[in-house]
Amino acid sequence: MNFYCVDTDVREGGFHEVHQVRCTYIPEDKIDLGPYPSCYEAVRAARKFYKLIRGCRYCCMECYTYS
């Protein structure tokens, strides 16, 4: 399982991005989401905080367009 977080800053298109905590592009301002078996579960968890969510294009590519 990987540990995930969500960016508190809004990205292009109004999205907040989910990152694996080992991502090179992990933001300074983030909310820790905890461990999940995949980015899909982490994206669902991040929706408790924000409506528009997608995965980071570098560490969660399979969830990059998932919203």
Do 27 and 9 touch, CB atoms closer than 8 A? yes
pLDDT at 66: 56
Instruction: For the full predicted model, state whether its pTM sits above 0.85.
Output: yes
Q: Which helix (H) or strand (E) segment is 44 a member of?
A: helix 39-46
pLDDT at 12: 87
pLDDT at 58: 96
b (16+ CB within 10 A) / e for 8-37: eeeeeeebbbbbbeebeebbeebbebeebe
Name residue 34's amino acid: G
Q: For every one of its 67 residues, what pLDDT tens digit does the chain have, with 9 covering 90 and above?
A: 999 999 999 998 999 999 999 999 999 999 999 999 999 999 999 999 999 999 999 999 999 975 5
